[in-house]
Structure 1
Amino acid sequence: MVWPFSSSPSNNGTTSSTTDPYSKLDPSLRQFLDRGPNPPPTQPTPAPTTQPTPTPNTQPLPSHSQQPPSPPSNTPTLFPDGRYAHLWSTYQPQTSIESSQKSDQERLSDVLSAWKERNASIGKAALENCAAINTELDECWRNPSWKQRFTICRTESKALERCVTMNQRFLKTLGYLSALDRPEAEREAIQMHADRLYMRMLERERERKEGGDGGSGDGGGGGVDAERRLERPLELERLSEHGKRQLEDRVKGLDPVERDLEERAFAAEIRAGAETMQQVEKYRSEARQARTERIESGQSRPSDRLQSWLGR
């Protein structure tokens, strides 16, 4: 018995094509089988990544002997080579832009507000100079001794009150109220100088007490104005009757040193008030001129003619 799919020779010695399964395959399939399995695909070797080398700046560095060109005198820039001059030429600070957009009433209000702030800042600066005495008063209220309980910290309260009052007088005399746009560093310098003058005055008072003078007389004036003796301010010579009465009420009962300081502080207040009024009058004059120009050019506002009739 012969296997049907056997490839062994038949009885006549030839191979039967009908019993060969390979011969029955499709030619393309036989070609694929003859070619054998495809080799596994090989992954392409990645090319080594190279970092791009920075291009060196070929511009030669200026030598020490070569000085950069100086900008023209009218170039508003801080760079010596005149960079960004076209930007700085049209630059305006934020405060200048806000000020140009304010109305006349807002400008006047700013001047008066600055005057009130300076008056309020004098009390704050004087209290800062008296911080040590204020600490002693707080300690007296928290942990008083029997004597302090009996006097209700009267000694410490009077010391703080006198310190604040004298520092305010010194600050006014030194010009703390004047100058609308005084730099902060200059204001701090005035505050520190007022503190030094008060400390010097206290030292002279202690020396007089130890010397048996009893703290009376005007010997303490040298401790305050040792560097210079100023004459009576001219503002006090031009006071009206009402101003003279105000000054007399303020200096009543003061010793010669405190009286002199109070008079000078009163004169400083008059000068600062005059400066403020000059600034107010300047804004009013500018407003009147701008209003007149608008009326003449036919671009007047409804309130321009009304203010002209009222004489403002």
Structure 2
Amino acid sequence: MGWLWGDSKTTDQQTDPYSKLDPGLRAFLEKESPLKYEVTQPSPARPSPDAASNEYRSQLGWTEPPPSTTQQPANAPSTSAPAVPPESLYQDGRYAYLWKNYRPRAEIEAASQTEADKLRAVIDAYNDRRAAIGRAAVENCVLEQMAERECWESGNFRDMMNMCRGPGRQFMRCYTMQSRFLKALGYLSLERSEAEEERIQMHADRLYHEMLAREAAAEEARKSGMEAPVLPPLISKESTTAALGADSAWAEAHKRTEELGPSTGLNLSDYTPDRQEQIKKQLASLATREERELEMQLIAAERRSQLEIAERVQERFAEERKSRESRRERGKETVGDTIKRIWGWDQDDGK
């Protein structure tokens, strides 16, 4: 029955290749080879350091087990900080020694920025937003731009003689009005998400086409000898808040304007005399009442956007003034701080 349960000799031969050799060859190897072949036996398991330490601890009367370096302590929080920052490709702890002193670039730049750098960052962000308005307006006027391009590429002789004036005017009016709608709806705001930016751009395009539809309806009424229908304003508090959201940049700017005064429309007293004359001439050049009302809404909405930028700049000036006062109290006033204090920069705006 050895074939059923296995033979110990067969098992030894499988584990020992020396036993498979011919007896004559084995005798020759034992005679000629200076080294004797020894059958390797599995080495016994070495006692772990933990077992030895436990034995010594029991001899000293210590019954508590030693603290483990791999296990988390019982009083530690369940959610521990990751071994590496999220910028690392390996989140399992590899190369953690390379990331132990890592600081994000934004944090380093924020810590090394001076008051002038912070103020310059606000101005640069405002200029970037103005450039982004131009790109968004071109995206909304892509059909008018394509019509002008097709006129130049494959227009008839009359269009070429007129320098494609018709499509060019349509594109320029679309670009100008879309830019103004974007400014009025808060596209210049520095604190906006991508979703809000998309909503503002879509709503500006919707307002422009609604303006064209109203102009066409008024022209049809004029040709037929009827009065133009009285429609609600394009930019109203209820419709704009419903389109952009109650927490949008437009809603915040509108709320800020309401706190400054009872009127949310166009107030000429808020502008300089020269600007007042410009606004009056601009309104007088418009033919219809609807165009004048829309122009006043756009001017008032653009002012709300400018007030937000002005408040942000004033905040930076206030932070700079506090920093200069702190350095002066600690006896570390610089030459620039002294010059600004002599020229009266430390005084508040209301003084």
TM-score, reference length from structure 2:
0.58
Give 1:247 deviation, angstroms.
1.3
**1:152 counterpart SS class:** coil
Match of 2:202 in 1: 192
Match of 2:61 in 1: none
Q: Tell me whether 1:247 sits opposite 2:279 in the alignment.
A: yes
RMSD: 3.9
Q: Matches of 2:102 and 2:28 in 1, distance apart?
A: 76
Q: Tell me whether 1:224 sits opposite 2:256 in the alignment.
A: no
* Contact 2:145–2:171 (CA under 8 A) maintained in structure 1: yes
Q: Deviations over 1:45-80 (max 9, x none)?
A: x99xxxxxxxxxxxxxxxxxxxxxxxxxxx9xxxxx
**1:224 counterpart SS class:** coil
Q: Deviations over 1:139-184 (max 9, x none)?
A: 100111133123221110111111112212221221222x322222
Match of 1:180 in 2: 190
Q: Matches of 2:201 and 2:123 in 1, distance apart?
A: 23
Q: Matches of 2:227 and 2:131 in 1, distance apart?
A: 33
Which of 283, 303, 306 does residue 336 from structure 2 map onto? 303
When residues 222 and 295 of structure 1 are mapped into structure 2, their CA distance, relative to the original with a 3 A threshold, is closer
Range that drifts further, 134-143 or 108-117:
108-117
Q: Matches of 2:151 and 2:117 in 1, distance apart?
A: 47
Match of 2:310 in 1: 277
When residues 205 and 267 of structure 1 are mapped into structure 2, their CA distance, relative to the original with a 3 A threshold, is closer
Q: Matches of 1:101 and 1:293 in 2, distance apart?
A: 18
Give unpaired runs (5+ residues) of structure 2. 1-26, 41-76, 86-100, 241-253, 255-262, 346-351
* Structure whose CA Rg is larger: 1
When residues 291 and 87 of structure 1 are mapped into structure 2, their CA distance, relative to the original with a 3 A threshold, is farther
Q: Tell me whether 1:157 sits opposite 2:168 in the alignment.
A: yes
Q: Deviations over 1:190-244 (max 9, x none)?
A: 0111111212232344445556647997648558359759986154453332221
Q: Matches of 1:124 and 1:189 in 2, distance apart?
A: 15
Match of 1:233 in 2: 265
Q: Matches of 1:259 and 1:192 in 2, distance apart?
A: 24
When residues 241 and 249 of structure 1 are mapped into structure 2, their CA distance, relative to the original with a 3 A threshold, is same
* Contact 2:133–2:182 (CA under 8 A) maintained in structure 1: yes
Q: How does 1:29-40 map to 2 (within 5 A)?
A: 38=28
- Partner amino acid, structure 1, of 2:198: E
Q: Deviations over 1:86-121 (max 9, x none)?
A: 999x99864344223211111111111222222232
* Contact 1:218–1:256 (CA under 8 A) maintained in structure 2: no
Match of 1:294 in 2: 327
**1:233 counterpart SS class:** coil
Match of 2:130 in 1: 119
Q: How does 1:208-223 map to 2 (within 5 A)?
A: 208-209=218-219, 213=223, 219=229, 221-222=231-232
When residues 143 and 281 of structure 1 are mapped into structure 2, their CA distance, relative to the original with a 3 A threshold, is same
When residues 249 and 207 of structure 1 are mapped into structure 2, their CA distance, relative to the original with a 3 A threshold, is closer
Give unpaired runs (5+ residues) of structure 1. 1-36, 48-74, 76-80
When residues 286 and 222 of structure 1 are mapped into structure 2, their CA distance, relative to the original with a 3 A threshold, is closer
Q: Normalized per residue, which structure has more helix?
A: 2
* Contact 1:170–1:194 (CA under 8 A) maintained in structure 2: yes
Match of 2:114 in 1: 103
TM-score, reference length from structure 1:
0.64
* Contact 1:134–1:160 (CA under 8 A) maintained in structure 2: yes
